Amino acid sequence: MKRHALSLGVIGWLVLFAWSPDAVAHTKGLTLSRFGLVDVSLQANVAYVTFDNPKVVDFDKIGDRHQKGWNLTSFDLSLTGQLPEFPLKFAMFLTFEQDKTSIEEAFLFFHKLEEFSPLLSDFQATVGQFRAKFGQFNQIHDHEWFLEDPPLIHTKFLGPDGVHLLGAEVTYQVPISTFLQLSLSIQSKGALDGFPGATSNTPPTFALHSADDVVVFPRVETFFDLTDTADLSLGASGAFGRNKPDSRDRTYLIGGDVLLRWKLGAGSYPYLRWLTEGIWAVRENPIVTAGANKGLQLGNDVVGGAFSELGYRFSQHWQATGRVDYVGIPKGHEDEHLRLSGGLRYLISSVAKIGIQYEHSARSGADRPYNAVFVQFNVGLGTVTPGVGKFLDPF
């Protein structure tokens, strides 16, 4: 009884601390896992979407995961924690949609492998279902995006929800003064077809039909403090796997990313984030996935594209974001595609925001130009902010 009373007292003290005025500026939420408890958080992402011409010829190529009208993009439940006396963290992110439930991520993270051997002091490991370290954007959950939909090149090569498959990953931080991290992960769709743990959101670039079909993701990244108020991240990513069932033909993805962040002083604004990524696919005898040649198997080609997104938070509650998307550098056997997006958000708090977004998609092959407008409602609550990490911007 005394033990329960002590636990309740600790929780009550933490809750009071979280609501104190001095704590708001520098806490993104409470973490109770250090006391052997599990952190629980909810995140709702709802959008109303309207198109002026939704009946395009090849909607998959357009790369929008929304339908006209109300969209429950996701309603996420996150469970996270860590073992009090062992360097092991765990996380599970459940996604509830209108007609199904799935696991977005569920993994174990060994963050101090020197517990096993001093030789492993610079290594970390992850096992389970997790977002692959390919570029910066693929590692961000959708409720943390600056805009409501993903970039075109990510939709085309990695899928509208990105790559978050089952597998294992090892990272190595090179023991030098400059931050330099190498990572290698191997992922597959899982061993149980139809089970929520075996995601159906496999990337369209690769043929993943069983647990024996794998994709390998190598990455190298570095980080620099340019000034007291600005930092720069650089990364290069790769991915390779079979592009057709029962075939030795492969697709090799090559990606590069640049992330510049600037924040004046200790406050949350003004704040600027500029993210640019490019992806190129070197394909061996691919089956074309979009455009006039859709469904045909053609010879080797290279398809590439890039996006550049600039987000600027100019006051405590207001943020503006613009993005340029282009696929067709080169276009290979696909159609080129240009898209322009702009959005304005009102941030109620770090985990609650309302936004409006306008998007213009230029002509692409047989698809005519069209415009789209998004109105987004994104609200979270819980002991910790879901996905708190280096990509979540402060409030």
- What's the half-sphere exposure (Cβ side, CA atoms, 13 Å) at 395? 18
pLDDT at 376: 94
pLDDT at 210: 76
pLDDT at 52: 86
Cα separation, 305 vs 331, in Å, equals 8
Smallest CA-to-CA distance from 162 within 100, 213, 110, 93 is with: 93
Contact (CB, 8 A) for 344 and 365: no
**pLDDT tens-place values along the chain, 395 residues long:** 444 444 434 334 333 333 333 333 233 445 666 666 788 888 898 999 998 876 777 766 766 778 888 988 888 888 888 887 788 888 999 888 777 788 889 999 998 888 888 888 899 999 999 999 999 999 988 888 899 989 999 988 998 888 999 999 999 999 999 999 999 999 988 765 554 443 456 778 888 877 778 999 999 999 999 998 999 999 999 999 998 888 889 999 999 999 999 988 777 789 999 999 999 999 999 988 788 888 889 899 999 999 999 999 999 899 999 999 999 999 999 889 999 999 999 998 877 899 999 999 999 888 889 899 999 999 888 775 544 333 344 44
Contact (CB, 8 A) for 131 and 138: yes
Tokens of 87: 């360097």
For the chain, which residues make up each domain, given as ranges? 32-382
Specify burial of residue 154 (Cβ count, 10 A radius: 0-12, 13-18, 19+).
buried
What SS3 class is residue 280?
strand
Cα separation, 271 vs 268, in Å, equals 7
Q: Distance of alpha carbon 73 from its chain centroid, rounded?
A: 14
Contact (CB, 8 A) for 189 and 166: yes
Residue 181 has a CB neighbour count (10 Å cut-off) of 17
Contact (CB, 8 A) for 121 and 105: no
Cα separation, 172 vs 264, in Å, equals 32
pLDDT at 67: 82
pTM for this predicted structure: 0.84
Cα separation, 132 vs 205, in Å, equals 14
What SS3 class is residue 99?
coil
Contact (CB, 8 A) for 202 and 154: no
Architecture (CATH level 2) of domain 32-382: Beta Barrel (2.40)
Specify burial of residue 153 (Cβ count, 10 A radius: 0-12, 13-18, 19+).
buried
Smallest CA-to-CA distance from 389 within 136, 201, 16, 88 is with: 136
Cα separation, 287 vs 285, in Å, equals 7
